[in-house]
């Protein structure tokens, strides 16, 4: 075998090895690429995912309902016009108010989970709502709460329309269970410049709604949001008058150089945790397939309040009270350490779909590179295949293959012809 054959064989082998190595890298990287969206969304061990949701206009809904609001038809002669009381609050304000011991303003808030691509059939395991309290430019009624009264969030059991200063009769029906909020004073930076447009924040209210939002991922039509109202003592009398203004992000004004929404987007946020799809069949601290979220540990997530009452105080279960009959928390239940915990499914590696397209393309590329850069034309090699075929055919016809003259002989013949022409 000629010595020139060795490099022609080594290069295709090296090229094939390189292509196979590149395919192996693509195959190994495919699971990472597939898992990248889950990592960006906050995927947790066991299939749970976490997201931070900001109140978004056009996706989420808000409104508040006013006992004094009127919708009357005012007739003057033959003309008539419907009249309502002007909104006394800023468009970014959700007020909760009490007058003479009776609620007069209630707010409603809904975060759309289906609009944020939470898969249907998911189970919500965490829903922590945080809303800022403060004042906004345009609020004719400010926050006044000298006694430090509390707010609570009750699950809305019926759909309602977004708006502001709506009729009292349009407020949605509420579930029996409510969650009492926890108020935290806002941290004030003494060196910070004051907001020239107002809108100073006084505090934030946090509501642990995990016990109310468990099925909002399973059935999107069950999510009607919550109604924010006051927590009143049983002996509330005519002197009980106060108001708390909760704040939404401001809408962006296209006529200003700044984005007002981006500056205030953190006023109303939700820390969401859910188990998507099949992973929702089993949860930490719950029975497999039950789909029920774990009970809150108290504090902001305590469920209480009189059923159907707007002026009832948010009750807190007595930890020393004996369990009622049929209570699943009575003695005999397994400890938390023995509760079933979801386990991540083992990873089964498989090649991505594009490997089957790259393999023939890589083989074709190797053939083209071998033919174009490595192998010489068959007619240029002495003793090549083409020359052998010609010699064999000539011998079969009884002749010999003419041998082409050398370069010096052709040059000499050329000079001889040129000399003969010049002599003649």
Residue pointed to by tokens 């083989």? 363
Task: Give the torsion sign (CA, 173, 174, 175, 176).
Answer: negative
Provide mean pLDDT across the span 280-307.
43
- Per-residue confidence (pLDDT) for residue 410, from 0 to 100: 75
Q: Rounded CA gap, 348 and 27, in Å?
A: 12
* Of 321 and 47, the one with more pLDDT: 47
Residue among 323, 303, 305, 325 at smallest CA distance from 313: 305
- Per-residue confidence (pLDDT) for residue 327, from 0 to 100: 45
- Per-residue confidence (pLDDT) for residue 83, from 0 to 100: 77
Provide mean pLDDT across the span 279-287.
47
pLDDT band for position 280 (50/70/90)? low
- Per-residue confidence (pLDDT) for residue 46, from 0 to 100: 53
Residue 55 has pLDDT above 60, yes or no: yes
- Per-residue confidence (pLDDT) for residue 22, from 0 to 100: 62
pLDDT band for position 358 (50/70/90)? confident
* Of 423 and 241, the one with more pLDDT: 241
Residue 6 has pLDDT above 70, yes or no: no
Q: Rounded CA gap, 226 and 207, in Å?
A: 10
Provide mean pLDDT across the span 297-320.
40
* Of 39 and 233, the one with more pLDDT: 233
- Per-residue confidence (pLDDT) for residue 421, from 0 to 100: 62
* The two structure tokens encoding residue 337: 């350490």
pLDDT digits (tens, 9 = 90+) for 245-255: 999 999 999 99
- Per-residue confidence (pLDDT) for residue 403, from 0 to 100: 62
pLDDT digits (tens, 9 = 90+) for 173-205: 998 889 999 999 987 665 655 555 556 788 999
Report percent pLDDT > 70 for the chain.
59
- Per-residue confidence (pLDDT) for residue 355, from 0 to 100: 67
- Per-residue confidence (pLDDT) for residue 318, from 0 to 100: 46
Please provide the size of the chain in residues: 424
Tell me if the pTM is above 0.85. Answer: no
- Per-residue confidence (pLDDT) for residue 359, from 0 to 100: 79
Provide mean pLDDT across the span 255-278.
92
pLDDT digits (tens, 9 = 90+) for 82-96: 778 999 999 999 999
Q: Rounded CA gap, 134 and 108, in Å?
A: 17
Residue among 118, 155, 52, 125 at smallest CA distance from 281: 125
- Per-residue confidence (pLDDT) for residue 118, from 0 to 100: 92
* Of 301 and 132, the one with more pLDDT: 132
- Per-residue confidence (pLDDT) for residue 48, from 0 to 100: 81
Domain extent listing, the chain? 50-317
- Could you report how far apart the first and last alpha carbons of the chain are, in Å? 55
pLDDT band for position 417 (50/70/90)? confident
Report percent pLDDT > 90 for the chain.
41
Window from 236-245, 346-355, 363-372 with minimum mean pLDDT: 346-355
pLDDT band for position 126 (50/70/90)? very high
Average pLDDT over all residues of the chain: 74
Residue pointed to by tokens 């022409």? 421
pLDDT digits (tens, 9 = 90+) for 365-398: 777 766 655 555 544 455 567 777 777 777 777 7
Residue 333 has pLDDT above 60, yes or no: no
Q: Rounded CA gap, 379 and 232, in Å?
A: 102
* Of 78 and 164, the one with more pLDDT: 164
- Per-residue confidence (pLDDT) for residue 276, from 0 to 100: 86
């Amino acid at each position: 075998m000629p010595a020139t054959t060795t490099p022609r064989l080594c290069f295709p082998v090296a090229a094939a090895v390189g292509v196979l190595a590149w395919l192996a890298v693509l195959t190994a990287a495919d699971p990472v690429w597939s898992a990248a969206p889950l990592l960006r969304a906050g995927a947790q061990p066991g299939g749970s995912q976490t997201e931070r949701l900001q109140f978004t206009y056009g996706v989420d809904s808000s409104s508040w309902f006013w006992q004094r609001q009127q919708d009357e038809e005012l007739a003057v002669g033959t003309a008539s016009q419907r009249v309502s009381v002007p909104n006394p609050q800023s468009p970014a304000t959700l007020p909760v108010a009490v007058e003479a011991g009776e609620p007069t303003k209630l707010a409603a808030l809904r975060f759309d989970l289906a609009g944020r691509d939470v898969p249907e059939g998911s189970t919500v395991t965490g829903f922590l709502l945080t809303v800022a309290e403060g004042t906004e430019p345009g609020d004719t009624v400010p926050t006044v709460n000298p006694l430090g009264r509390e707010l609570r969030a009750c699950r809305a059991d019926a759909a309602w329309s977004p708006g502001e200063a709506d009729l009292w009769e349009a407020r949605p029906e509420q579930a029996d269970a409510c969650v009492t909020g926890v108020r935290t004073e806002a941290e004030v930076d003494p060196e910070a410049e004051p907001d020239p447009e107002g809108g100073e924040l006084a505090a934030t209210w946090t509501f642990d709604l995990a016990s109310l939002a468990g099925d909002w991922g399973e059935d999107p039509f069950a999510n009607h949001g919550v109604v924010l109202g006051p927590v009143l003592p049983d002996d509330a009398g005519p002197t009980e008058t106060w108001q708390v203004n909760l704040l939404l992000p401001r809408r962006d004004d296209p006529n200003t150089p700044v984005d007002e929404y981006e500056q205030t987007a953190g006023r109303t946020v939700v820390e969401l945790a859910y188990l998507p799809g099949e992973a929702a069949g089993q949860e930490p601290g719950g029975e497999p397939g039950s789909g029920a979220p774990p009970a809150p540990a108290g504090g902001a997530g305590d469920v209480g309040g009189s059923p159907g009452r707007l002026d009832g105080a948010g009750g807190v279960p007595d930890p020393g009270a004996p369990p009622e009959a049929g209570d699943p928390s009575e003695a005999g239940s397994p400890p938390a350490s023995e509760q079933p915990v979801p386990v991540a499914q083992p990873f089964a590696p498989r090649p991505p779909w594009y490997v089957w397209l790259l393999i023939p393309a890589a083989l074709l590329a190797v053939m083209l590179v071998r033919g174009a850069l490595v192998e010489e034309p068959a007619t240029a090699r002495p003793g090549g295949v083409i020359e052998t075929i010609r010699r064999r055919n000539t011998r079969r016809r009884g002749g010999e293959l003419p041998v082409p003259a050398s370069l010096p002989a052709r040059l000499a013949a050329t000079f001889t012809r040129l000399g003969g022409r010049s002599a003649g």
